[in-house]
A and B are shown apart, each in its own frame.
Chain A
């Protein structure tokens, strides 16, 4: 076996020197939510967001939202440079007020779902999704 210093080897633990420190919710995220709610209060219950605790691939993170009785649901990735992800609108004939999609996350951050209910009230929930280098599971 030859082990020379000059061997050029592929980068080991991940070329992605993306910031792994949690991305903070930025003003743009607050603005996106305010634009959706018109600044109204948001209740804690009534909307469910299912997201992985740790993303298997930050480029395509599967999420699911559900808010029975909602007319629309806003998804915000609070730490992305462009936090607005999607708004799902449900017509009166929708069998259930739920949707799933995949989103791209720039790093560890909160994903926020805000639901607008038929009576004009709002509900909010969030989940922290961690984006990690990985590699050391025992």
Chain B
């Protein structure tokens, strides 16, 4: 196991071995007073192939604020390893100065203050500028979309993903893989995929009835680039029917299927692939494990867990690239491929500072066109916040605290539960909260806010079950989300214990009494994977709550005590 201190050396050694990477640019940028587009894009074109990776956009067409997590625990072998390093330790590992643009982009500290200085991030019109600049250097650069693209906003919901399809098509991707896309329902997904002008990949997308590869999704695609054959293999999110409602896409089955991944790598190698790239929605720790089990992958472009890393992580000879989420980053990966082999790699994680990178006017117009029919609804101010609202964190985020408050008060419940998803932009203190902002953290096709009764014992079972999806020491048993967020309930969690023993000291906050396993409690929540869940959509519940409050303030959450972190 590599210790945190050794990490830097390992990265440097990998860089020396495989060619220079973005390391060093970060510290230098930080030393400068101002940031320019040229600095952000600066890259000495390398080798003969360029890959452009963007992933987990979650339908964020426009620039947003996005705070990275403070708590992102690694369990077992992942403990203290990237990407499970945050804040000051993260900056130290990569030589990033406090208060620098990189610190703002990659860590959580002083977020509200730094956001005032550096502004919003993302916006697909800015992303387009970056893609165009890379294509100016290397016209046949491959643009690869890691999925979670057609989900996560008001307009995406209203158009069933069409807004994102239209804008992404204009960016001309070469291939894509999938996760939340399937929550549009298989009929809609099939309809879109049949008409996409690029490859829809997933070696692990199977027909559920026959347990055979699904016809619509190909396992891989070959590209001829720089005199070499590049094989791009897709890996969709493995646990779609478990983490999301399987009744929405009953014809499909997924899974990690690393034995089939190995078969595909062998197949493309036999067919003459000079370099093998996996476009993955596994999540970072699953990708790390897969890289150790499947031989012959050169690069994994990793998505799902929303990690942004300024350096590749090397497992054996496989480079794993993590490119963040919500349109905040684009990774450029240049490869030197000769004689059927990867000879070198150069990488840069490009933060999309929206005030620094000029928007591509063609894409701005296209985005505006998608939003125009909904502009009045989107921009309506519902309330205001005194607190920073963010989502990321293993146990809670202020957005989810607010959503749980809304569920408790609007649905008159003892306990609230909110799913541990990792998408959703942040809102700064003093900012208005618009309807669009609320949808950015709640939009989904199964939004019903249920109200039900559960025994104390069952609530414990739920917390243990979700806890194991996050803290099982074997990444193949993790689903890549965060802990279910709770309102009205306090508990203690020992992340080092096995399932059934992690959660203790469950307390009903309104009375301070211990949760009684035999007693029944009223629980409100949303995003149930069960078909036929009833209740108003969560965005209405949250909107009512914020409207009633006028200005919201979220107190620090001290209801979860974490042990073994």
Contacts and interface: CB of A to CB of B under 8 A. Distances in A.
A137 B465 contact: no
Chain A residues touching B, range: 35 or more
A90 B533 CA distance: 47
Nearest to A19: B461
Contact of B421 (A11, A133, A136): A136
B479 A13 contact: no
Interface in A37-74: 50, 52-57, 62
Interface stretch (B17-25, B338-346, B521-529): B521-529
Contact of A12 (B211, B304, B474, B533): B533
B530 A14 contact: yes
A13 B462 contact: yes
A50 B306 CA distance: 29
A16 to B, nearest CB: 10
Contacts of A52: 255-256
Interface string B416-455: 0101111100000000000000000000000000111010
Interface in A102-125: 108
Nearest to A21: B500
Residue of B465, B525, B541 with most partner-chain A CB within 10 A? B465
Contacts of B499: 20-22, 108
A137 B477 contact: no
A13 B525 contact: yes
B217 interface: no
A75 B411 CA distance: 48
A46 B450 CA distance: 50
Contacts of B304: 138
Interface stretch (A1-9, A26-34, A79-87, A91-99): A1-9
Contact of B239 (A3, A13, A134): A134
Given A17-B461, A133-B462, A12 B523 contact: yes
Counting from the closest, the 5 A-B pairs by CB-CB distance are A137-B243, A138-B481, A138-B422, A134-B242, A12-B450
Interface of B: 179, 208, 211, 237-244, 246, 253-256, 259, 304-306, 410-412, 417, 419-423, 450-452, 454, 458, 461-462, 464-466, 468-469, 474, 476-477, 479-484, 499-500, 523, 525, 527-530, 532-536, 540-541, 544
29 contacts: A1-B540, A3-B412, A5-B412, A5-B451, A7-B534, A10-B534, A11-B450, A12-B525, A12-B528, A12-B530, A13-B530, A14-B529, A15-B530, A17-B461, A54-B477, A56-B253, A56-B255, A57-B246, A130-B468, A130-B477, A133-B461, A135-B243, A136-B420, A136-B469, A136-B527, A137-B240, A137-B480, A138-B421, A138-B422
